[in-house]
Amino acid sequence: MLNKNVVIAHRGASAYAPEHTFASYDLSHFDMAADYIELDVHMTLDGEVIVMHDETIDRTGLSHGTIKEMTLDEIKQVRIGKWFNDKYPELAKDYYLEQTVPTLREVLKRYGQANYYIETKAPDIYPGMEDKLTGILDEFQLLTEVRMKNYQTVIQSFSLESLIKMSQLKPGITLLLLCKKGMLRGMTDEDLMKIQMFVYAVGPNYKDLDGELIERMHHLGFLVFPYTLNNEEDMERLINEGIDGAFTNNPDLLRKQFRIDNGEIFE
């Protein structure tokens, strides 16, 4: 069961390759042996679930367009590697220039029974996102009882409403609540216990964490996976204070800081 020293590759190995591309996922999954591939999902105008962080293609696509107003065919014309080569010339590679926006199905087909953290991005602007997502995951047999028991397919969101919908659609599904700074500190134990009935972990901003808050979350029954932990000094501090794992753009560095080979294979 993946519940200790967990390395979650944030948008893949996104410190080294263009985020949310096969180049980035391949690096984190095959080369760096991260425990999870982390994905952000959106829906196109024609109802396809695609993987991208932003609601627009402006930043990584270096052009203008809003995902919910674009068809999949239009999205597939976008190349999302040039921005990375331009921003990080020391890491630039020619093949990054051909990287396209993957659909969720394409990712799942490529990596099969890998472990996934999937974030419902801006679910309020994509009606039916949770139904569509559940259907695709069922299609690839990623919501089996064994996988849910072992925390192998996790749905995460800043939207508690979205997580509630996922829980209703698939009772027992593994859920993580992402938390902005100050959110957990502002909640009572009573409120948190209500959430803990269906949410197994919290994902706070790493700047918001200290040993006292980690201990409180553990006492209430949550695992703690902060985002986005990229600095080795911060990694060491929070590991010493008791985090269970973390989201990182640098899976290799986080594995090094945990000082163990914690890869697990499930049949």
Q: What is the DSSP letter of 191?
A: H
Q: Are 227 and 205 in contact (CB under 8 A)?
A: yes
Task: Please pick, among 10, 20, 29, 42, the residue that the annotation labels catalytic.
Answer: 10
- For this structure, is 20 an active site residue? no
| Nearest-angstrom CA–CA distance, 1 and 39 | 20
Q: What dihedral do alpha carbons 61, 64, 68, 73 form, nearest 10°? A: -60
- Listed in sequence order, the DSSP H helices in the chain are 22-26, 58-61, 72-75, 82-87, 104-111, 129-139, 145-149, 160-169, 189-196, 211-219, 232-241, 251-258
Q: Are 203 and 186 in contact (CB under 8 A)?
A: no
**Is residue 224 within a helix (H) or strand (E), and if so which, with residue range?**
strand 223-224
Q: What is the pLDDT of residues 113-168, one digit of tens each?
A: 999 999 999 899 999 999 999 999 999 999 999 999 999 999 999 999 999 999 99
How far out from the chain centre does Cα 97 lie? 24
CA distances (Å), origin 63, targets 58, 87, 93, 102, 222 = 5, 16, 21, 17, 41
**Sequential pLDDT tens for the chain (267 residues):** 799 999 999 999 999 999 999 999 999 999 999 999 999 999 999 999 999 999 999 999 999 999 999 999 999 999 999 999 999 999 999 999 999 999 999 999 999 999 999 999 989 999 999 999 999 999 999 999 999 999 999 999 999 999 999 999 999 999 999 999 999 999 999 999 999 999 999 999 999 999 999 999 999 999 999 999 999 999 999 999 999 999 999 999 999 999 855 444 333
State the burial class of residue 9 (Cβ atoms within 10 Å of its Cβ: 0-12, 13-18, 19+): buried
The pLDDT of residue 204 is 98
Task: Please pick, among 20, 53, 218, 219, the residue that the annotation labels catalytic.
Answer: 53
The pLDDT of residue 260 is 58
The phi-psi region of residue 158 (left if phi > 0; otherwise alpha if psi is between -120 and 50; otherwise beta) is alpha
State the burial class of residue 76 (Cβ atoms within 10 Å of its Cβ: 0-12, 13-18, 19+): middle
Reported for 74-77, long-range contacts at CB under 8 A and 24+ positions apart, including other chains, are: 75/44, 75/48, 75/50, 75/101, 76/100, 76/101
- For this structure, is 64 an active site residue? no
Q: Six-digit token pair at 201?
A: 């972990």
Beta-carbon contacts of residue 92 (< 8 Å; ≥ 6 apart):
84, 85, 86
CA gyration radius, the chain: 18
Tokens 């949410």 belong to 199
Q: What is the mean pLDDT of the chain?
A: 95
| Nearest-angstrom CA–CA distance, 149 and 42 | 26
